[in-house]
């Protein structure tokens, strides 16, 4: 079943490309519903970070301290023990909302305080990242057993090249899509939606046509009927800014975009983006399904519960800063990467963001080096304003021990580095003195 997948079976008469986009339905919420099936059909919202009072078991223990809940049946926990959105205070946003919750107008990325006004009775649960990752791996490995050309697009989404998979052409991909959908449900207990189309662009839109637990098949001839009536915003790559600009020119649907002169689009939206807009409006996209990729950067950032001030809250800020550097270093080391561009990100109380970075002359995954360089970057920004977010990033990554390493100059003598780091230390001021 697995096997040759790269070359068309008949180069002179290639099979039509059939590309699938699959995404798991309300994934983070569905993961919680596996544990708490009694929440099925109720408005449930996932997000907000882990707070003690969110812990369902903690509430139970408090109510029945005499009982042992350690391996109790979670599905029997009564609803009154689940925390509600009502009364939420904090800066969290919704990661996922169940379909019943969406009927109240709440959805991904919405602030939880706003969601609490729209649907105060909704149950609020924090994300269980470990469980989400476990089920993510499970559904992806299930797909790979059936269709080996898969592109990872995050925890809950993938593209799959059906073209050369046995049965991938039957009914335009519907038969294979059904098999995958069924296999994923058997393996995980969670439903997904699949769109199959001639390319990634259309497949992505198609997977939304029939949610949840749906399949939709789109053919090249369906462009006018199924794609052109859609708002431009449905195109993956048209965000709020581009959409607003398009609307300003009276372009609301993909069909209206397709009707515009490509030359005018290029003049108005730039050579690259304008040409791309024209292509996508005509359903054209020849991007391959990419099965392997290397990370470009790794970062850690955090939004404070209240805005902090560099002087008044310097101890707290300094501790957070150091922790972020340690976390990035740990991520790099754990995954086997080192980088040579080190940077920071700040978000001020007015939500304006600034970044600063430096490129050093060697690759590093060392927390102290990252901390030192990031500290120098911090000195280059305005620290008189209140800060709501602080982040640390390492870019220009290499994987030590791979071939790219030598050409990229990963190797460097220990003595050289030590001497330079000492010199650098002398220039580091004592912004966050707890480090010294």
Partner DNA sequence: TCTGGGGTCCTAGGACCC
Residues serving a catalytic function are: 157
d(CA 4, CA 6): 6
Q: How far is the CB of 8 from DNA (least distance, A)?
A: 26
Judged by CB under 7 A, which of 42, 113, 175, 279 binds DNA?
A: 113
Q: How far is the CB of 391 from DNA (least distance, A)?
A: 6
Residue that the structure tokens 């809950």 belong to: 156
Can you give the C-alpha Rg of the chain in angstroms? 25
DSSP assignment, residue 20? E
Residues in 338-377 at the binding interface with DNA, rule: CB under 7 A = 341, 343, 350-359, 377
Question: How many CB atoms lie under 10 A from the CB of residue 54?
Answer: 16
d(CA 281, CA 358): 40
Say whether residue 287 binds DNA (CB under 7 A): no
- The window from 217-225, 259-267, 312-320, 387-395 that contacts DNA (CB under 7 A) reads 387-395
* Beta strands 157-161; 123-125: pairing state: unpaired
- The window from 76-84, 222-230, 250-258, 267-275 that contacts DNA (CB under 7 A) reads 267-275
Residue 285, marked binder: no
Q: Are 280 and 236 in contact (CB under 8 A)?
A: no
Q: How far is the CB of 342 from DNA (least distance, A)?
A: 9
- The window from 8-16, 209-217, 248-256, 296-304 that contacts DNA (CB under 7 A) reads 296-304
* Beta strands 215-217; 297-308: pairing state: unpaired
Say whether residue 389 binds DNA (CB under 7 A): yes
Say whether residue 25 binds DNA (CB under 7 A): no
Q: How far is the CB of 247 from DNA (least distance, A)?
A: 12
**Residue number, 17 or 347, with CB nearest to DNA:** 347
Tokens of 341: 């561009």
**Residue number, 39 or 201, with CB nearest to DNA:** 201
Name 71's Cβ contacts closer than 8 Å, sequence gap at least 6.
Answer: none
Say whether residue 18 binds DNA (CB under 7 A): no
Judged by CB under 7 A, which of 54, 222, 331, 366 binds DNA?
A: 331
Can you list the alpha helix ranges (DSSP code H) found in 189-295?
200-206, 240-248, 254-258, 262-269, 271-281
Q: How far is the CB of 169 from DNA (least distance, A)?
A: 25
Residue 307, marked binder: no
DSSP run (H or E) holding 196: strand 192-197
**∠405-408-410 over CA atoms, to 5°?**
60
- The window from 36-44, 147-155, 415-423, 426-434 that contacts DNA (CB under 7 A) reads 147-155
Q: How far is the CB of 111 from DNA (least distance, A)?
A: 4
DSSP run (H or E) holding 404: helix 404-407
d(CA 81, CA 204): 38
Judged by CB under 7 A, which of 41, 105, 295, 404 binds DNA?
A: 295
Residues in 208-237 at the binding interface with DNA, rule: CB under 7 A = 235-237
Dump strand ranges (E) for 283-425: 297-308, 338-348, 353-364, 387-398
Say whether residue 408 binds DNA (CB under 7 A): no
Question: How many CB atoms lie under 10 A from the CB of residue 200?
Answer: 23
Residue that the structure tokens 């607003």 belong to: 244
Residue that the structure tokens 């024209």 belong to: 278
Judged by CB under 7 A, which of 40, 51, 67, 114 binds DNA?
A: 114
Residues in 74-93 at the binding interface with DNA, rule: CB under 7 A = 90-93
Say whether residue 298 binds DNA (CB under 7 A): yes
- Residues at the binding site for Mg(2+) are 23, 156
Positions touching DNA (CB under 7 A) are 90-93, 95, 108-109, 111, 113-114, 117, 153-157, 204, 235-243, 270-273, 295-303, 331, 341, 343, 350-359, 377, 380, 388-389, 391, 396
């Amino acid at each position: 079943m697995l096997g040759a997948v790269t070359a068309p079976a008949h180069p002179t008469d290639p099979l039509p490309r059939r590309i699938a986009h699959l995404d798991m339905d309300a994934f983070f919420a569905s993961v919680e519903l596996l544990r708490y099936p009694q929440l099925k059909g109720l408005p449930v919202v996932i997000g907000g970070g882990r707070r003690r009072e969110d812990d369902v078991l903690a509430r139970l223990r408090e109510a029945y301290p005499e009982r042992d809940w350690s391996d109790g049946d979670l599905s029997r926990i009564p609803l009154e023990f689940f925390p509600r959105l009502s009364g939420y205070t904090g800066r969290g946003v919704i990661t996922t909302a169940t379909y019943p919750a969406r009927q109240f107008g709440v959805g991904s990325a919405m602030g939880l305080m706003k969601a609490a006004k729209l649907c105060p009775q909704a149950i609020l649960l924090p994300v269980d990242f470990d469980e989400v990752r476990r089920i993510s791996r499970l559904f992806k490995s299930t797909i790979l057993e059936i269709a080996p050309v898969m592109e990872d697009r995050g925890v809950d989404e993938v593209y799959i090249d059906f073209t050369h998979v046995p049965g991938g052409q039957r009914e335009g991909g519907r038969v294979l899509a059904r098999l995958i959908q069924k296999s994923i449900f058997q393996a995980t207990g969670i439903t997904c939606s699949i769109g199959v189309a001639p390319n990634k662009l259309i497949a992505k839109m198609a997977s939304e046509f029939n949610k949840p637990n749906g399949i939709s098949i789109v053919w090249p001839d369906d462009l006018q009927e199924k794609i052109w009536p859609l708002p431009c915003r449905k195109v993956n790559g048209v965000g709020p800014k581009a959409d607003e600009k398009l609307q300003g020119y009276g372009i609301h649907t993909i069909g209206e975009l397709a009707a515009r002169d490509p030359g005018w689009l290029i003049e108005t939206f730039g050579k690259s983006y304008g040409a791309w807009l024209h292509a996508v409006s005509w359903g054209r996209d020849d991007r391959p399904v990419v099965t392997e990729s290397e990370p470009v950067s790794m970062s850690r950032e955090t939004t404070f519960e209240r805005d902090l001030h560099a002087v008044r809250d310097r101890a707290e800020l300094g501790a957070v800063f150091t922790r972020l550097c340690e976390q990035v270093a740990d991520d790099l080391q754990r995954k086997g990467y080192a980088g040579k561009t080190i940077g920071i990100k700040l978000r001020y109380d007015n939500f304006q963001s600034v970044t600063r970075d430096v490129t050093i002359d060697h690759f590093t995954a060392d927390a102290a080096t990252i901390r030192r360089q990031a500290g120098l970057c911090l000195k280059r920004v305005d620290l008189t304003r209140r800060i709501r977010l602080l982040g640390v990033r390492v870019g220009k990554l290499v994987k030590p021990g791979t071939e790219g390493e030598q050409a990229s100059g990963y190797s460097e003598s220990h003595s050289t580095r030590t001497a330079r780091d000492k010199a650098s230390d002398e220039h580091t001021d004592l912004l966050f003195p707890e480090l010294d």
